[in-house]
Amino acid sequence: MQSHYSYQPADDLLKGRIILVTGAGDGIGRAAALGFADKGATVVLLGRTISKLEAVYDEIEARGAEKPAIYPLNFEGATWPDYKEMADRLYEEFGRLDGVLHNAGILGQITPLQGYNPELWQQVMQVNFAGPTMMLQALIPLLQQSQDASVILTSSSVGRKGRAFWGAYACSKFALEGLSQVMSEELENISQVRINTLNPGATRTKMRAKAYPGEDPNTLPTPEEILPAYYYLMGPDSKGVTGQQLDAQPPKS
Protein backbone atom coordinates (compact mmCIF):
# COMPACT_ATOMS: atom_id res chain seq x y z
CA MET A 1 0.00 0.00 0.00
CA GLN A 2 1.40 3.40 -0.93
CA SER A 3 2.04 5.88 1.86
CA HIS A 4 -0.18 8.95 2.13
CA TYR A 5 3.04 11.00 1.93
CA SER A 6 3.60 9.83 -1.64
CA TYR A 7 -0.05 9.29 -2.57
CA GLN A 8 -0.67 9.71 -6.28
CA PRO A 9 -4.26 10.80 -6.91
CA ALA A 10 -6.22 10.00 -10.03
CA ASP A 11 -6.98 13.04 -12.20
CA ASP A 12 -10.69 12.69 -11.42
CA LEU A 13 -10.23 11.74 -7.74
CA LEU A 14 -12.73 14.32 -6.47
CA LYS A 15 -15.08 14.52 -9.46
CA GLY A 16 -18.61 15.41 -8.41
CA ARG A 17 -17.62 16.32 -4.85
CA ILE A 18 -18.53 19.56 -3.09
CA ILE A 19 -15.67 20.62 -0.80
CA LEU A 20 -15.48 23.61 1.53
CA VAL A 21 -12.00 25.03 2.18
CA THR A 22 -11.49 27.59 4.96
CA GLY A 23 -8.55 29.96 4.75
CA ALA A 24 -8.73 29.46 0.98
CA GLY A 25 -7.21 32.81 0.06
CA ASP A 26 -3.62 32.07 1.00
CA GLY A 27 -0.97 29.48 1.78
CA ILE A 28 -1.98 25.85 2.24
CA GLY A 29 -5.71 26.63 1.94
CA ARG A 30 -5.20 28.26 -1.44
CA ALA A 31 -2.98 25.43 -2.71
CA ALA A 32 -5.48 22.80 -1.53
CA ALA A 33 -8.45 24.64 -3.07
CA LEU A 34 -6.67 24.79 -6.44
CA GLY A 35 -5.58 21.17 -6.11
CA PHE A 36 -9.06 19.93 -5.21
CA ALA A 37 -10.50 21.85 -8.17
CA ASP A 38 -7.86 20.30 -10.46
CA LYS A 39 -9.06 16.86 -9.30
CA GLY A 40 -12.67 17.59 -10.25
CA ALA A 41 -14.23 19.06 -7.10
CA THR A 42 -16.57 22.01 -6.87
CA VAL A 43 -14.77 24.09 -4.24
CA VAL A 44 -16.42 26.54 -1.84
CA LEU A 45 -13.80 29.15 -0.98
CA LEU A 46 -14.20 30.50 2.55
CA GLY A 47 -12.07 33.29 3.97
CA ARG A 48 -12.19 36.80 5.34
CA THR A 49 -10.49 38.71 2.49
CA ILE A 50 -12.75 38.81 -0.55
CA SER A 51 -10.04 40.03 -2.94
CA LYS A 52 -7.88 36.98 -2.15
CA LEU A 53 -10.83 34.62 -2.60
CA GLU A 54 -11.67 36.27 -5.92
CA ALA A 55 -8.09 35.75 -7.11
CA VAL A 56 -8.31 32.03 -6.31
CA TYR A 57 -11.76 31.88 -7.94
CA ASP A 58 -10.34 33.42 -11.13
CA GLU A 59 -7.42 31.01 -11.12
CA ILE A 60 -9.73 27.99 -10.82
CA GLU A 61 -11.90 29.29 -13.66
CA ALA A 62 -8.82 29.92 -15.82
CA ARG A 63 -7.83 26.27 -15.39
CA GLY A 64 -11.17 25.16 -16.79
CA ALA A 65 -12.16 23.42 -13.56
CA GLU A 66 -15.66 23.25 -12.07
CA LYS A 67 -17.01 26.69 -11.22
CA PRO A 68 -16.20 27.42 -7.55
CA ALA A 69 -18.21 29.42 -5.02
CA ILE A 70 -17.09 32.15 -2.62
CA TYR A 71 -18.30 32.48 0.98
CA PRO A 72 -16.73 35.42 2.88
CA LEU A 73 -16.64 34.84 6.64
CA ASN A 74 -14.48 36.00 9.53
CA PHE A 75 -14.28 33.47 12.36
CA GLU A 76 -13.46 36.26 14.81
CA GLY A 77 -16.79 38.02 14.53
CA ALA A 78 -19.16 35.32 13.25
CA THR A 79 -21.86 34.02 15.61
CA TRP A 80 -24.10 30.95 15.60
CA PRO A 81 -26.75 32.53 13.31
CA ASP A 82 -24.00 33.28 10.76
CA TYR A 83 -22.96 29.62 10.66
CA LYS A 84 -26.57 28.46 10.44
CA GLU A 85 -27.15 30.85 7.54
CA MET A 86 -24.04 29.50 5.81
CA ALA A 87 -25.26 25.92 6.21
CA ASP A 88 -28.71 26.88 4.89
CA ARG A 89 -27.27 28.62 1.85
CA LEU A 90 -24.93 25.74 1.05
CA TYR A 91 -27.84 23.33 1.40
CA GLU A 92 -29.96 25.41 -1.01
CA GLU A 93 -27.10 25.61 -3.51
CA PHE A 94 -25.66 22.09 -3.32
CA GLY A 95 -27.84 19.90 -1.09
CA ARG A 96 -24.84 18.36 0.66
CA LEU A 97 -21.14 18.68 1.45
CA ASP A 98 -18.65 15.92 0.64
CA GLY A 99 -15.68 17.49 2.38
CA VAL A 100 -14.38 20.24 4.65
CA LEU A 101 -10.76 21.28 4.91
CA HIS A 102 -10.50 23.63 7.87
CA ASN A 103 -7.24 25.47 7.39
CA ALA A 104 -7.97 29.04 8.57
CA GLY A 105 -6.16 30.16 11.70
CA ILE A 106 -4.12 32.88 13.37
CA LEU A 107 -0.82 32.64 15.23
CA GLY A 108 -1.26 35.08 18.11
CA GLN A 109 1.91 35.74 20.12
CA ILE A 110 5.01 33.60 20.63
CA THR A 111 5.57 34.62 24.23
CA PRO A 112 5.61 33.28 27.81
CA LEU A 113 2.18 32.55 29.27
CA GLN A 114 2.73 35.08 32.02
CA GLY A 115 2.92 37.93 29.54
CA TYR A 116 0.30 36.75 27.04
CA ASN A 117 -2.30 39.40 26.20
CA PRO A 118 -5.62 37.98 27.53
CA GLU A 119 -7.71 39.63 24.80
CA LEU A 120 -5.46 38.20 22.10
CA TRP A 121 -5.70 34.78 23.77
CA GLN A 122 -9.50 34.98 23.49
CA GLN A 123 -9.23 36.06 19.85
CA VAL A 124 -6.94 33.14 18.94
CA MET A 125 -9.25 30.63 20.66
CA GLN A 126 -12.26 32.16 18.91
CA VAL A 127 -10.72 32.08 15.42
CA ASN A 128 -8.88 28.76 15.76
CA PHE A 129 -11.36 26.74 17.80
CA ALA A 130 -14.72 28.20 18.92
CA GLY A 131 -15.70 29.52 15.48
CA PRO A 132 -14.73 26.38 13.55
CA THR A 133 -16.57 24.25 16.15
CA MET A 134 -19.80 26.18 15.54
CA MET A 135 -19.22 25.91 11.79
CA LEU A 136 -18.93 22.13 12.00
CA GLN A 137 -21.98 21.87 14.27
CA ALA A 138 -23.96 23.71 11.59
CA LEU A 139 -22.50 21.65 8.72
CA ILE A 140 -22.96 18.13 10.17
CA PRO A 141 -26.43 17.71 8.58
CA LEU A 142 -24.96 18.67 5.18
CA LEU A 143 -22.07 16.24 5.59
CA GLN A 144 -24.52 13.49 6.56
CA GLN A 145 -26.21 13.92 3.16
CA SER A 146 -23.01 12.67 1.49
CA GLN A 147 -22.25 9.05 0.66
CA ASP A 148 -18.58 9.61 1.55
CA ALA A 149 -17.70 12.78 3.46
CA SER A 150 -14.30 13.76 4.84
CA VAL A 151 -13.42 16.49 7.33
CA ILE A 152 -9.76 17.50 7.70
CA LEU A 153 -8.85 19.74 10.64
CA THR A 154 -5.44 21.40 10.36
CA SER A 155 -3.36 20.66 13.44
CA SER A 156 0.25 21.35 14.43
CA SER A 157 3.11 19.61 16.19
CA VAL A 158 2.51 22.03 19.10
CA GLY A 159 -1.09 20.82 19.25
CA ARG A 160 0.07 17.27 19.92
CA LYS A 161 2.90 18.01 22.34
CA GLY A 162 2.86 21.37 24.07
CA ARG A 163 5.87 23.63 23.63
CA ALA A 164 6.99 26.66 25.63
CA PHE A 165 5.86 30.10 24.41
CA TRP A 166 3.29 28.80 21.89
CA GLY A 167 0.42 29.82 24.15
CA ALA A 168 -3.05 30.10 22.67
CA TYR A 169 -2.03 28.70 19.28
CA ALA A 170 -0.90 25.41 20.85
CA CYS A 171 -3.95 25.23 23.12
CA SER A 172 -6.33 25.93 20.22
CA LYS A 173 -4.77 23.09 18.22
CA PHE A 174 -4.99 20.72 21.21
CA ALA A 175 -8.69 21.65 21.36
CA LEU A 176 -9.15 20.84 17.66
CA GLU A 177 -7.54 17.45 18.24
CA GLY A 178 -10.11 16.80 20.99
CA LEU A 179 -12.95 17.99 18.76
CA SER A 180 -11.87 15.59 16.03
CA GLN A 181 -11.83 12.65 18.43
CA VAL A 182 -15.26 13.48 19.88
CA MET A 183 -16.85 14.13 16.49
CA SER A 184 -15.35 11.06 14.82
CA GLU A 185 -16.69 8.76 17.56
CA GLU A 186 -20.13 10.37 17.48
CA LEU A 187 -20.50 10.06 13.70
CA GLU A 188 -18.61 6.83 13.01
CA ASN A 189 -21.50 4.38 13.23
CA ILE A 190 -24.39 6.61 12.16
CA SER A 191 -23.03 8.27 9.02
CA GLN A 192 -20.49 8.13 6.21
CA VAL A 193 -18.59 11.08 7.71
CA ARG A 194 -14.95 10.70 8.73
CA ILE A 195 -12.91 13.29 10.65
CA ASN A 196 -9.13 13.42 10.96
CA THR A 197 -6.47 15.94 11.94
CA LEU A 198 -3.54 16.70 9.67
CA ASN A 199 -0.33 18.40 10.75
CA PRO A 200 1.18 20.08 7.67
CA GLY A 201 4.62 20.37 9.29
CA ALA A 202 7.11 23.11 8.45
CA THR A 203 5.85 24.61 5.17
CA ARG A 204 6.67 27.76 3.21
CA THR A 205 3.80 30.00 4.36
CA LYS A 206 3.40 33.52 5.74
CA MET A 207 2.40 32.15 9.16
CA ARG A 208 5.56 30.04 9.32
CA ALA A 209 7.68 33.07 8.40
CA LYS A 210 6.00 35.08 11.17
CA ALA A 211 6.69 32.34 13.73
CA TYR A 212 10.28 31.73 12.57
CA PRO A 213 11.54 35.04 11.14
CA GLY A 214 15.16 33.87 11.01
CA GLU A 215 14.43 30.74 8.97
CA ASP A 216 15.26 30.51 5.26
CA PRO A 217 11.88 29.75 3.62
CA ASN A 218 13.63 28.16 0.65
CA THR A 219 14.65 25.24 2.89
CA LEU A 220 10.97 24.34 3.38
CA PRO A 221 8.54 22.53 1.06
CA THR A 222 5.88 24.63 -0.65
CA PRO A 223 2.18 24.07 0.14
CA GLU A 224 1.84 22.33 -3.24
CA GLU A 225 4.48 19.78 -2.27
CA ILE A 226 2.57 18.55 0.79
CA LEU A 227 -0.79 18.07 -0.98
CA PRO A 228 -0.60 14.25 -1.41
CA ALA A 229 -1.80 13.72 2.18
CA TYR A 230 -4.68 16.15 1.60
CA TYR A 231 -5.73 14.30 -1.56
CA TYR A 232 -5.56 10.98 0.27
CA LEU A 233 -7.74 12.13 3.17
CA MET A 234 -10.26 13.99 0.99
CA GLY A 235 -10.71 11.19 -1.56
CA PRO A 236 -12.34 7.75 -1.40
CA ASP A 237 -9.12 5.82 -0.70
CA SER A 238 -9.21 6.93 2.95
CA LYS A 239 -12.74 5.64 3.54
CA GLY A 240 -12.86 4.11 7.02
CA VAL A 241 -9.96 6.23 8.29
CA THR A 242 -11.40 8.39 11.07
CA GLY A 243 -10.33 9.85 14.42
CA GLN A 244 -6.68 9.69 13.35
CA GLN A 245 -3.78 12.12 13.77
CA LEU A 246 -1.82 12.26 10.53
CA ASP A 247 1.18 14.24 9.31
CA ALA A 248 1.52 15.67 5.81
CA GLN A 249 5.30 15.18 5.85
CA PRO A 250 7.24 12.03 6.80
CA PRO A 251 9.19 12.20 10.06
CA LYS A 252 12.73 13.40 9.65
CA SER A 253 15.20 10.55 10.09
Provide φ and ψ at 212, rounded to 5°. -130, 70
Beginning with the edge strand found earlier in the chain, give each strand of the sheet holding 149-154 in spatial order.
69-72, 42-47, 18-22, 99-102, 149-154, 193-199, 245-247
Closest CA to 105 of 86, 84, 92, 123: 123
Question: Which one from 169, 230, 231, 232 is the annotated catalytic residue?
Answer: 169
CA distances from 137 to 84, 90, 193 (A): 9, 14, 13
* Annotation marks residue 230 as catalytic: no
Instruction: Spell out the residues 6+ positions from residue 177 whose beta carbon is closer than 8 angstroms to its own.
Output: 153, 155, 159, 160, 197, 245
Report whether 157 contacts 235 (CB < 8 A).
Answer: no
Alpha carbon separation from 233 to 26, 76, 115, 244, 248 (Å, rounded)? 20, 27, 38, 11, 10
Report the C-alpha gap between 139 and 90 in whole angstroms: 9
Active site residues: 169
